[in-house]
Amino acid sequence: MLELRGVSKTYGLNGQRVTAVADVTLSVAPGEFVALTGPSGCGKSTLLHLMGAMDRADRGEIWLADQPLHDLGEEELIQVRRRQIGFVFQFFYLLPTMTVEENVELPLLLAGVTCHLERVAALLEQVGLSHRARAYPATLSGGELQRAALARALVGRPRLIIADEPTGNLDSDNGGRVLEILRGLAGREGVAVVMATHSAEAAEVASRVLRMRDGRVQT
């Protein structure tokens, strides 16, 4: 599903080079739920950005299914992000002027997909938010916001979910609920999930834990 071969990423900062990701080789199979852990600054976010086609590696290859992300042009990468990858972040990033339902529908509208109301309703049901479909984000709790963001990430049927500290702003009950949804997706629907987390509880729910240190994934 997702394969990285010898991937490195270096940033230039104040004339100095910082190696954020160093020679990472790994693969994630369909249905796997992988937790990426490690101290702050070890490269988790950078690695997620590379996997999610949000940034380019300096070296190495990244394959999503049979597509070489390292070889694709900007336009093609945008299409891959829109159609094949779902993103979940610590700060939910719902649009405040749209209802929950409209936020969830938005990726489909952007992708030019029509006839999507049933899909949106089914997802809101799946994440336990049917009763909040017409509400605005400002009136939702943190847990509800993250479940809405999850529904939005899933609406286009992505093959890969990239989650950066998805429980970082939630109490343990709400965090647990979000993790259960992610685990269910991986288990039942064969979606690959890669989640960066500081939380030991979150890592425990994953099917595999990758530990990072100084830009490297420890084996």
Phi, psi dihedrals of residue 17, rounded to the nearest 5°: -100, 130
Question: Which residues does residue 27 pair with via DSSP β-bridges, in sequence order?
Answer: 3
By beta-carbon proximity to ligand ADP, the closer residue of 127 and 210 is: 210
Residue 188 three-state SS:
helix
| 58 counts as binding ligand ADP under rule CB under 6 A | no
Strands 59-64, 208-213: pairing is unpaired
Q: Are 28 and 217 in contact (CB under 8 A)?
A: no
Among 46, 99, 174, 197, binds ligand ADP (CB under 6 A): 46
Q: Find the part of the chain contacting ligand ADP (CB under 6 A) among 40-48, 66-74, 100-108, 203-211.
A: 40-48
By beta-carbon proximity to ligand ADP, the closer residue of 18 and 135 is: 18
| 37 counts as binding ligand ADP under rule CB under 6 A | no
| 45 counts as binding ligand ADP under rule CB under 6 A | yes
Query: Shortest Cβ distance from residue 131 to ligand ADP (Å)?
Result: 35
| 177 counts as binding ligand ADP under rule CB under 6 A | no
By beta-carbon proximity to ligand ADP, the closer residue of 85 and 127 is: 85
Rounded CA-CA distance 16/49 in Å is 21
| 52 counts as binding ligand ADP under rule CB under 6 A | no
| Dihedral over alpha carbons 28, 207, 108, 145 (to 10 degrees) | -140
* Binding residues with ligand ADP: total (CB under 6 A): 12
Q: Are 207 and 186 in contact (CB under 8 A)?
A: yes
The tokens describing 184, both together, are 């269910």
Query: Shortest Cβ distance from residue 96 to ligand ADP (Å)?
Result: 26
Query: Shortest Cβ distance from residue 215 to ligand ADP (Å)?
Result: 7
Compose the 9-28 pattern: x for residues touching ligand ADP by CB under 6 A, - for all others: --x-x----x-x--------
**What burial letters (b/e) apply to 90-121, b meaning 16+ CB within 10 Å?**
bebebeeeebbbbbbbbbbeeeeeeebeebbe
Rounded CA-CA distance 199/34 in Å is 13
Q: Find the part of the chain contacting ligand ADP (CB under 6 A) among 39-47, 90-98, 140-148, 186-194.
A: 39-47
Among 2, 32, 43, 193, binds ligand ADP (CB under 6 A): 43
Residues that bind ligand ADP (CB under 6 A): 11, 13, 18, 20, 38, 40-46
